[in-house]
Structure 1
């Protein structure tokens, strides 16, 4: 059974004007998005400025978001790191803090990530999803290695439609796109869903796009295109326009 089916959000992490973590308000945003149809919340991911969070802040964020969501909306925690040992430690902490599952970005400069994911799997006490995003960590995960990874699912943010269809063909686990532009295609080809940053501000259109609404797909992609020009600040501004949340970022400061 998939961790979730439908659209999840790659959640922004909200900070106070002085740059400190505002976990309660971040959890409130997550709950509001769940009320608008979001079926999973990814915390401490790329969009969530994970690289700027301390281990204690990650724990606080996971605990707060989990406490604020309905039981049927899982919390997925980003635990990727340059080494398997580091990622395993983050994974142990994430589950202890209340995460329902973890998502691990493939390590940079590693052509064969199998040992990396095997190390994480040993530390995981719940579902482990792999993450292919060569734009953030090259070279990513070769499609032909996917069936050999000890994971239950995959998030692919490459935006490569041909690759996604190949993954549907060979990967037995649950497939989630991280590209807003592919939500409709994922829905029509039987993929489990999407985990997208655009859902921070346009959750209804993202949900409708996955369900096959072409007009919603166009609107969701337009929103994503506008926000992605300035990452991650653009997504925070879009969320702020909709929900009145903070636009403060740590990335680049």
Structure 2
């Protein structure tokens, strides 16, 4: 979105030129959309910045007295392994997502490995995954000896159901749809494809806690779903993960 100048009798006017991108085959082309006169100068052109040096950007993760008190309570309990708070969290998270069961794990990566093995994926089996995801979606497949089969995403940034159907082979044992950025994949289509072929679905819902598809929580739409509580996630314990299932 470049800024253009226009000299006239009233002086220099800056315009914000807005462009959009259109994809044609493998080539993206910019398409002119509109231009708007700027009422205020952007900081890059000498205007006042939205945030000055005295106003810092928010930092993540955030915490307050409640988190400090919770950590202190665990330390004081001297029950640092298999303590009751994990069980309470499992119950609360299962209810929040609308699942019957939740099992806490030490990471979202571990949750993926466990879930894939739980649905019966064995060495040599094929698992369909999107290429647009965090590396753990693929490394979890490799770590259990299975073969990742990449299927591209559609315009939603989620795995393309049409391409999934074309990628299925007699060796396909599971599909791992990634609800990228919290946007739920087309689970109705994926479930139809999986049901017709006896394939399991393990949802990578690491971005999508709280997400819903036709009223049902992410992670409860396939055979099981996995979540991450790594530092960048909306709920973070620094690291951690969970599996939900019915």
Whether TM exceeds 0.5 here: the answer is no
If asked which structure has higher relative contact order (CA below 8 Å, sep 6+), I would say 1
Higher strand share: 2
Select the structure of larger CA radius of gyration. 2
TM-score w.r.t. the length of structure 1 is 0.31
TM-score w.r.t. the length of structure 2 is 0.31
